[in-house]
Structure 1
Amino acid sequence: MKPHPASRDVAIAAVALIVVLAIPLFHRSPAFEDFIIRLSAMALFATSLNLLVGNTGMVSFGHGMFYGLGAYAFALMMQMTDLSLPVAAVLAVSITTLASFCVGAICVRLSTDYFAFITLAFQMLFYSVVISWQSLTGGDQGLRGGIPRREIFGFELSSQLHLYQFCSVVAVLGLLALRHVSTSPLGQTLRMIRDNEDRASFLGVVLWRARLLAFTIAGAFAGLGGVLAALFVSGAYPELADWPNSGQAIFAVMLGGINSFLGPALGAAILLALNDAVTRFTEYYGLVLGIVILAFAVGFRRGVLDFLRLAWPRSSK
């Protein structure tokens, strides 16, 4: 008897989490721990975007708005209130969810091209607010007051090891939740809309409602990634909400594979590793990244996991 897909996903997530948490027990590497913390935030960000791009066929150029909003909402509440870290994190994700619902209610009824650009317009508007409202956001200097009360369930997140463990757990649980959404009837409905929206509409699917739900869920998980990013940088900075950050997520999806659930997470790992490697030797990171993206587009014509999924049956014959 084959295991139920949900049980298999939970087992894979548990094994992955055990491995990640066990690594520091055998060898401590601050650089590796920093990488995993950053990857935790980026993987949630990119995978949530792929719920729109890969599952629904909606390309959002402004998804970084919700990533940045999650970071700023969390950092502001930690700096300006007496809320505990878990409560502030939940409220930050709730604010991001509400914002994504409001933005999505305007965007999802538009055609594909207009949808992409109106999301970018919303992100640019949010970025302008972040830069202009200096008394609240710190302007182009960002929120530099740090994150006080960095404790959750007895773990002091000012410790790099504890932050590494916390971010790993949140990322795995978040990805597992997104996986559940992707394999649920909602996920199947979204893929049907992507493949043939006329047929989906004929079968009784309310297109704008399903798209709005997907947009809202994607924004919520992007906000959760922003919370992890704020914990890592101990604040929030305009770069987290700027449009190039949305481009980073799109690149991660393209590199890893649109049609594979773990593709965006792999793409995020490749992107971060490439950034770390290239910046050691040259400041022209954008040029190198463009060449890599071009090589994937021309050579593989798809992301890494998508390419392997198609190539594996041929190699096994």
Structure 2
Amino acid sequence: MRPGLLRDLAAGLALLLVLLVLPFIFTKPAIRDFLIYVMAYGLLATSLNLLVGLTGLVSFGHAAYFASGAYMFGLLMQTGKVSIPVAIMATVAGTALLALVIGAICVRLKEIYFSFITLAFQMFIHSIILTWVNLTGGDQGLRGGIPRPTFLGIDLNNGMTLYIFCVVVFIICIAIMRQVWQSPFGYTLRLIRDNPTRANFIGVDIIRMKLGIFVIAGAMASVAGILLALFVSGAYPEFGFWTTSGEAIFMIMLGGSQLFIGPMIGAVLLRLLEHFVTVYTEYHGLVLGVVILAIVLGLRQGIADYIADWLERRRTTRSAATQTSVLPSKESA
């Protein structure tokens, strides 16, 4: 696995450099803000794909951990007693614990039952956000903003510094999820996805494996919520509504679920579509739905998956043609 690890590290470093350079090439603050927005939702979609694409668990309630990250972090920062790194670590740990409790119930169910119970838990958390007004601000969101005190000489009140911080956190999380994707644990999850009967027969503890990836996915989704909360300096009930989970699923459908980078591609495409459609028409929901349907029904898979399959078919065709051209020459000899 060493060559693969080195390749992933090189790709991560290249992506880091590209993201750091882009604001200096395109100097408008709107570009920087758009990238932070895409990174937050890209992390959400990529973490969900650890369940959908890697394990075959379609969760309709993944935004619960996105909202948990935003609200826990915001409330901790509003106390004024913790630094940003401590608040981030406490939030990730707290959300992982929440995912552990919810996942212990959910992963015992199969297929559509799993999907709907995750949705039920998400709506339960969304209801708590709306009704616990003294703590969460209800439908107005977390009031008072989120303080950004300086730590280790880093001042996140500066726009460029905040962007660089988000990029670094984003790359770290992507690297962690990539290693999970490529690890023996990840291949065990693929076996569970493709043939759970065989996995159980060879001694794999399916419930424990599913629970492990459920907790990891929830923890990574909380980081996405933290980044968005830092960016908008607040947390809102929409973060935990079912439509946010739907957006993450749309991103996976657009980009593809079988390649690790698929959800990130889907996040970029969906945000670009939303931006341009909103600019040119007030019926952005209708137009966006038609475009998504056209891509999904036309390609019958995500864009990244389609391109990967096309390249594989082309390579196979070339290989077959090469073998065919070699065989006659051997026979003539």
TM-score (normalised: structure 2): 0.92
Q: Is the 8 A contact 1:41 1:225 kept in 2?
A: yes
Deviation string, structure 1 residues 280-314 (Cα, Å, up to 9, x no partner) = 12232221221122112211000010000011244
SS in 1 for 2:117: helix
Quick check: 31-40 or 213-222, which moved more?
31-40
* Distance across 1 between alignment mates of 2:194 and 2:87: 39
* Distance across 2 between alignment mates of 1:47 and 1:27: 26
Structure 2 gap ranges (5+): 319-333
Give the equivalent residue in structure 1 for 2:140. 141
Q: Percent identity?
A: 50
SS in 1 for 2:228: helix
Q: Is the 8 A contact 1:147 1:234 kept in 2?
A: yes
Give the equivalent residue in structure 1 for 2:187. 188
* Distance across 2 between alignment mates of 1:150 and 1:114: 44
Alpha-carbon RMSD across the aligned residues, in angstroms, is 1.3
Q: Is the 8 A contact 2:69 2:91 kept in 1?
A: yes
SS in 1 for 2:235: coil
Give the equivalent residue in structure 2 for 1:25. 24
Q: Is the 8 A contact 1:20 1:168 kept in 2?
A: yes
**How far did residue 31 of structure 1 move?**
1.2
Q: How does 1:264-303 map to 2 (within 5 A)?
A: 264-303=263-302
* Distance across 2 between alignment mates of 1:49 and 1:204: 26
Q: Is the 8 A contact 1:37 1:163 kept in 2?
A: no
Deviation string, structure 1 residues 7-47 (Cα, Å, up to 9, x no partner) = 11011100110121122334412111001111111111000
Deviation string, structure 1 residues 43-92 (Cα, Å, up to 9, x no partner) = 11000000000000000000000000000000011112411111111111
* Distance across 2 between alignment mates of 1:240 and 1:43: 14
Q: How does 1:120-131 map to 2 (within 5 A)?
A: 120-131=119-130
Deviation string, structure 1 residues 69-128 (Cα, Å, up to 9, x no partner) = 000000011112411111111111111100001000000000111000000000000000
* Distance across 2 between alignment mates of 1:27 and 1:267: 22
Instruction: Name segments (4+ residues, structure 1) moved above 6 Å.
Output: none
* Distance across 2 between alignment mates of 1:313 and 1:60: 30
Larger Rg: 2
Q: How does 1:3-82 map to 2 (within 5 A)?
A: 4-82=3-81
Deviation string, structure 1 residues 262-297 (Cα, Å, up to 9, x no partner) = 000110111111111111122322212211221122
**How far did residue 219 of structure 1 move?**
0.2
Question: Number of residues paired by the alignment?
Answer: 316
Q: How does 1:176-255 map to 2 (within 5 A)?
A: 176-255=175-254
Q: Is the 8 A contact 1:140 1:237 kept in 2?
A: yes
TM-score (normalised: structure 1): 0.97
- C-alpha change, 1:201 and 1:238, in structure 2 (3 Å) is same
What residue identity is the alignment partner of 2:115?
Answer: A
